[in-house]
Amino acid sequence: MVLLAVHGGAGGDGAWRGMTDADPQRLRCMFVLLERLGAQLADGSLDALEAVTLAVEAMEDEALFNAGRGSVLDAEGRITMDASVMRGTDRAAGSVVALTQSRHPVRVAHHLLQQGWPVMLVGQAADDFGGAAGVEQVGNDWLKTELRQAQWQKWRDAKLHPGATDEDDALLDHDGEEDGWGTVGAVALDANGQLAAATSTGGMTGKPLGRVGDTPIIGAGTWADDRVAVSCTGVGEAFIRTAAAHTTAVNHRTMSLQEASKRVLDDVAPLGGRGGLIAVSAQGEVVVPFQTMLMYRGVYRDGVVSVGIGPDMEEGFRP
Ligand code: ASP
């Protein structure tokens, strides 16, 4: 049995309000990559580590997700991206922080994992490492989309007018909800029973310079060992303070994956970090819980792909 699950970020408050015009494109991206990579996992031509890396790369290339091209802009209107990847068998890990020019941050993290040491690289040195390893280098402007620039402009206008009304703030929040948060992640169980997890993000719109969320922090946003692989999404600070991904793995030693992940999200929420996670176990469990209005997510299992955004998974979805 093989498993592949992905997420494309969690967010929003209140009841599910249905799909936006952009959502079918996000679903299509997840569906297509799950069908392709799931089949390769099933026939044994892909291992878990490469599967999660390719899955995240495909979502970094989809401009509607907040990773790679289409990442959100920081306080100064620049894109800085974080990513990490972990292999369960030997807990090898690679993590990169504040990349500004690598097209595929997760591939830079993957190269770092394969090199074996160090586990983390930050800033220009990480981009340079990626470039030397063959990861395509692009300009920061190439990574920016009109949608993200418009969101950033709204964020800045609201900041520049301290007298902004609650209604303005609500509008900004609402836009955020409609576009989702968009961080991406993947977890996999391959034909040899090996697990891996990967996560990639542009962070949060208007984040202060130098801010690092949970995504590149091994044990917070990403974790894999010989029993479970986890990728998280949500307000990163709360996932860091609960060591969310690792805590899911520890909980799972004594309870089902469903219960283990629920307890973690229950812990995260009071710290202001409602969100979601995806996890697979070596025994073949797969869970995709979230506490927000939505979480973009999809699962490949036994040749069947299901994708979802709101509370229900859509098994019948065809791109
Ligand atoms: N966890 C990411 C961060 O805090 C954002 C997200 O998942 O939406 O950078």
What is the rounded distance in angstroms from the CA atom of residue 312 to the CA atom of residue 284?
21
Averaged pLDDT, 107-121: 98
Residue 171 confidence (pLDDT) above 90:
no
Burial of 170 (0-12, 13-18, 19+ CB in 10 A): exposed
Atom of ligand 1 nearest to the CA of 66: 8
Distance of CA 205 from the midpoint of ligand 1 (Å): 10
Distance of CA 192 to the CA centre of its chain: 25
- Residue with CA nearest ligand 1 atom 1: 236
- Residue with CA nearest ligand 1 atom 4: 236
Averaged pLDDT, 141-150: 96
Active site members: 183
Distance of CA 204 from the midpoint of ligand 1 (Å): 6
| Per-residue pLDDT at 54 | 99
Atom of ligand 1 nearest to the CA of 203: 9
| Per-residue pLDDT at 160 | 67
Give all strands (DSSP E) within the chain, no chain letters: 3-11, 81-87, 93-99, 120-122, 184-189, 195-201, 222-224, 228-234, 275-281, 286-287, 294-301, 304-308, 313-314
Do 209 and 231 meet the contact criterion of CB atoms below 8 Å apart? Answer: no
Q: How confident is the model at residue 319 (pLDDT cuts 50, 70, 90)?
A: confident
Residue 168 confidence (pLDDT) above 70:
no
- Residue with CA nearest ligand 1 atom 9: 203
Mutate to test the pocket of ligand 1, among 73, 199, 204, 223 (most ligand atoms within 8 A of CB): 204
Sheet bearing 275-281, strands edge to edge:
222-224, 228-234, 275-281, 286-287
Distance of CA 24 from the midpoint of ligand 1 (Å): 22
| Per-residue pLDDT at 13 | 86
Q: What percent of the chain has pLDDT over 90?
A: 84
Distance of CA 11 from the midpoint of ligand 1 (Å): 10
Residue 179 confidence (pLDDT) above 50:
no
Mutate to test the pocket of ligand 1, among 148, 179, 183, 296 (most ligand atoms within 8 A of CB): 183
Determine the angle formed by the axes of helices 146-160 and 166-179, rounding to 10 degrees: 160
Residue 173 confidence (pLDDT) above 80:
no
Residue 30 confidence (pLDDT) above 80:
yes
pLDDT in tens, 191-214: 999 999 999 999 999 999 999 999
Distance of CA 50 to the CA centre of its chain: 16
Residue 201 Cβ < 6 Å to ligand 1: yes
Mutate to test the pocket of ligand 1, among 26, 79, 235 (most ligand atoms within 8 A of CB): 235
Distance of CA 214 from the midpoint of ligand 1 (Å): 7
Tokens representing residue 35 in the block: 């069908």
Distance of CA 217 from the midpoint of ligand 1 (Å): 11
Residue 214 Cβ < 6 Å to ligand 1: yes
DSSP 8-state assignment for residue 309: S
Averaged pLDDT, 259-263: 98
| Per-residue pLDDT at 166 | 41
Alpha-carbon torsion 9, 15, 21, 27, what sign? positive
| Per-residue pLDDT at 315 | 61
Averaged pLDDT, 279-290: 98
Q: What homologous superfamily is domain 3-313 in, according to CATH? A: (Glycosyl)asparaginase (3.60.20.30)
| Per-residue pLDDT at 312 | 85
